[in-house]
Amino acid sequence: MPSFKSKLADPSIRMSMHVNVIPSAVTTQAIAASGADVVVIDREHGAVDYGTCHAMIAATQGTDCAPVVRVSEIADPEVKRVLDLGAEGIIFPLVRNAEDVRRAVASMRYPGSMGTRGFGPFIAHSRWPADMMSYARTIEDRLTCGILIETVEAVANIDAIVAEEGIDYMILAAFDLSATMGIPGQFDHPQFVKACAKVEQAARGAGVPLGGIAMTEEDAAERFAAGYRIISGFDVLHLKAKVAQTAAWARRPASVHAFVADAKGPQHSLTVPH
């Protein structure tokens, strides 16, 4: 199966990514089995502890879905630990400048590759076709480094950020970026639109794949038309939206249900035993 990294290297491939904030291997497995290219196990805003994180990473085994982890900060101890659980990559929050990029990239690499990651893949090597001592050379070229563009500082420094080596992709985090601009959720605000355009232009110029939130098919079409390669959503928001939809069906007047049934033609009944 192609790796996430190899998909990123092919500009013709578009991908779906789902942020997994629910601390459940069952949820992760369902996302992975449904055809997602990437599941982001969220240790920044989700309720995911390390043991659950390992189970969630393992739940992607046998699928074409890459398990990456969003860490809470650019910090060697946390990056090392989730990579040692078998993660296929890291997404770093709050990257504000080129120095942040350099620290993020170094935290994922071993010292022989100009990095700062400590060696101890006692768990991680079992996820890959490698023994423990060959893990480093087996996995290092497969790991992906993603960064979130979510602050006004990052937008101001975007040209310097994309010039740094080691970035595999960027995600434009609309919720956070609009909040740091003082216009939370105002995605049609001229200042926000201008900031997004600046990030998009920099990504195109540097050849860095770009991702963004798309909670509807219309959102996805808009992102792809703007040159984005990755669309992203959130498990808990998809779940809530679907439950709200079915709850609305139950609240329809009986006359509406009858009209819908008539419009669809004869219905087959299902007898449920008591």
| Residue 60 token pair | 């992607």
38-53 pLDDT, tens digit per residue, is 999 999 999 999 999 9
Walk me through the domains of the chain, giving residue ranges and CATH numbers: 4-264 (3.20.20.60)
- Tell me: pLDDT of 258 over 90: no
List alpha helices for 84-172, DSSP H: 98-108, 135-139, 152-156, 158-162
In angstroms, the CA 240 to CA 25 distance is: 19
pLDDT at 257: 56
pLDDT, tens digit (0-9, with 9 covering 90-100), for 106-155: 999 999 878 999 999 999 999 888 888 889 888 878 999 999 999 999 99
pLDDT for residue 264: 58
pLDDT tens, residue by residue, 204-235: 999 999 999 998 999 999 999 999 999 999 99
pLDDT at residue 129, rounded to an integer? 80
Q: Are 101 and 38 in contact (CB under 8 A)?
A: no
- Rounded to 5 degrees, what angle do the CA atoms 49, 55, 106 make? 65
The Cα–Cα gap between 145 and 104 comes to: 8
Q: For residues 207 and 216, give the distance between their C-alpha atoms in angstroms, rounded to a whole number.
A: 26
User: Per residue in 159-206, pLDDT tens?
Assistant: 999 999 999 999 999 999 999 999 999 999 999 999 999 999 999 999
Q: Determine contact, residues 18/39, Cβ cutoff 8 Å.
A: yes
Return the pLDDT at 272. 34
pLDDT score of 261 more than 80: no
* Sign for the pseudo-dihedral over CA of 48, 213, 247, 184: positive
Check pLDDT > 80 for residue 271.
no
